[in-house]
């Protein structure tokens, strides 16, 4: 698979979700970062809100109706109202493959994400270079949006850690797992705290 094909699949899925389930849904983090750098994404983190009590069952039903027979369900987890940063509450994560692309559908509680959802998600990315997103409404749209922090990291070849957006538990997780992974991806980049 090449980047263009991967983006076409993502554009198809994202635009259908935006038109039918949540108009504020976005793809954020590693996928748009990798595309900007000319690389395939490992997986697609797609953030959306759901007003349903049974988010997994209801969302799977909605996704199957939107995408049809090609959906392969990988896993689903109720995360028990996990706080993503200080403002976003993740209620479940559903993994599925569609046309060879692995999606992580991250479903958020709309009561915590009621205004400017995309910026609430993006500002809670722990490392500046990941503060990028796509909010495509069609298959042919390919714009990638950047925060000032992500552009600075790209330009300066840095990995800026934003500790102020994390709880203590998230900071420990970042330092033990996410930051080492990012250092591995970007060995020439300098860590900034």
Q: Is 60 exceeded by the pLDDT of residue 31? A: yes
pLDDT tens, residue by residue, 42-57? 999 999 987 666 678 8
Give CA–CA dist 85/71, Å, rounded.
30
Does 149 score more than 80 pLDDT? yes
Structural domains of the chain sorted by starting position, each given as residue range(s) with its CATH number in brackets: 3-147 (3.30.460.10)
Dihedrals φ, ψ of 187, to 5°?
Answer: -65, -20
Higher pLDDT, 167 or 185: 185
Question: Token pair of 186, please?
Answer: 């970007």
Res 188 pLDDT > 90: yes
Give the whole-angstrom CA distance, residue 105 versus residue 49. 10
Q: Taking all residues of the chain, what is their mean pLDDT, rounded to a whole number?
A: 85
The model's confidence at residue 84, banded by pLDDT at 50, 70 and 90, is low
Give dist(CA 51, CA 67) in Å, integer: 20
Element (H, E) at 192: strand 190-192
pLDDT, mean of residues 17-31 = 91
Q: What is the mean pLDDT of residues 161-186?
A: 80
81 confidence band (pLDDT: 50, 70, 90): low
Share of the chain above pLDDT 90, in %: 47
Report the alpha-carbon distance of residue 64 to residue 72 in Å, rounded.
Answer: 10
């Amino acid at each position: 698979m090449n980047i263009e094909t991967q983006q076409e699949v993502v554009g198809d899925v994202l635009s259908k979700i935006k038109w039918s389930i949540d108009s504020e849904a976005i793809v954020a983090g590693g996928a748009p970062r990798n595309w900007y750098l000319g690389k395939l994404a490992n997986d697609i983190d797609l953030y959306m809100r759901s007003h349903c009590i049974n988010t997994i069952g209801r969302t799977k039903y909605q996704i199957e109706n939107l995408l049809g027979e090609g959906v392969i369900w990988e896993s689903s987890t109720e995360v028990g109202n996990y706080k993503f940063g200080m403002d976003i509450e993740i209620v479940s994560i559903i993994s599925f493959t569609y046309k060879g692309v692995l999606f992580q559908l991250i479903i958020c509680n709309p009561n915590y994400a009621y205004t400017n959802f995309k910026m609430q998600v993006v500002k809670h990315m722990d490392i500046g270079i990941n503060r990028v997103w796509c909010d495509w409404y069609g298959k042919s749209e390919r714009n990638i949006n950047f925060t000032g922090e992500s552009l600075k990291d790209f330009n300066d070849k840095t990995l800026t850690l934003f500790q102020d957006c994390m709880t203590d538990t998230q900071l420990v997780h970042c330092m033990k797992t996410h930051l080492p992974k990012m250092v591995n991806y970007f060995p020439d980049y300098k860590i900034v705290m």
